[in-house]
Amino acid sequence: MTTLYEGAFAKLNLTLDVLGKRDDGYHDMKSVMQTISIRDDIEIDVGTDKPWNLVCDKEGIPSDERNLAWKAAKVYFDTIGKDPNGLEIRITKRIPSQAGMGGGSADAAAVLRALNRHYDHPLSIAALAELGGLVGSDVPFCVLGGTAVVEGRGERLRKLPDMPDCVFVVCKPEFSVSTPELYAKIDETVIGKHPDHAAMESAILSGDIGAVAQNLYNVFDPVVTADHLELNYIKSIFNSYGSMGQQMTGSGSAVFCMVPEFEFAAVICQMLKDNYPEVFIAKPVSF
């Protein structure tokens, strides 16, 4: 038996736009995504000589084939045509669930990367990301990691240079958002503002952290905020203590801000932690 270890890193959407509904019922999107240092830890035992098993230290996480990490392992072995002779996946969960931070997708991507390394890289990163698209829309980006433009359903990726150094504060309120319901709502909403992806990409290319912060925008943010005004309260705390820019990530409900120094982040956390237990300080991560 061999034990593999891999970090599963959360993602933030620096920009997110919904471009329309497709014939297959999914939506085309465009986003600049960033991997951050909030992570789950994945351990995989290969060759257990027992039925497949998945264990997570957090309650409420599926521990069978419904889990994206399990799905990723199955897709991987089906693709390379190998039988692992028993498998156990153990997940230590730190990424908040139902937050828009890609926690399940990050776990799946970590499984793909770990297994591919174990079998001496039979698949390229591009092929591994494509395989991730069979598991979930955010999995391809989570395989690639770093900073990237993501389009389509999440399968079209273009790597960008590493984001300039900064500090993120991420706050996950108690409520969660149904992604299908949110997409249905956005279909009926006139989107008054769209993110400027070109400006965001230019800011990253020039290493201008202030311009990155000023160009954060997610079309879902005003739609969710209209139903959950406490997001405005969280953003007001961000603003009052040094935020350069703030935004909801994914379909929510986590919101984040960018600050130039750790000291600002520490103060923001102090101001939020009594009302919001899930508050995190994070840094950009490059792959």
Q: Which two structure tokens, joined as six digits, stand for 164?
A: 């300039």
Q: Which two structure tokens, joined as six digits, stand for 55?
A: 């264990």
In angstroms, rounded to a whole number, what is the distance separating the alpha carbons of residues 156 and 141? 9
60: exposed, middle or buried (Cβ count in 10 Å: 0-12, 13-18, 19+): exposed
Q: Which two structure tokens, joined as six digits, stand for 232?
A: 């405005």
Task: Give catalytic residue positions.
Answer: 11, 138
Q: Which two structure tokens, joined as six digits, stand for 170?
A: 């991420």
**Run of H or E residues at 106:** helix 103-118
> Residue 88 pairs with which residues in a beta bridge?
45, 53
Handedness of CA 21, 204, 157, 231 (dihedral sign): negative
What are the C-alpha distances in Å from 102 to residues 34, 46, 157, 270, 275? 11, 25, 16, 25, 23
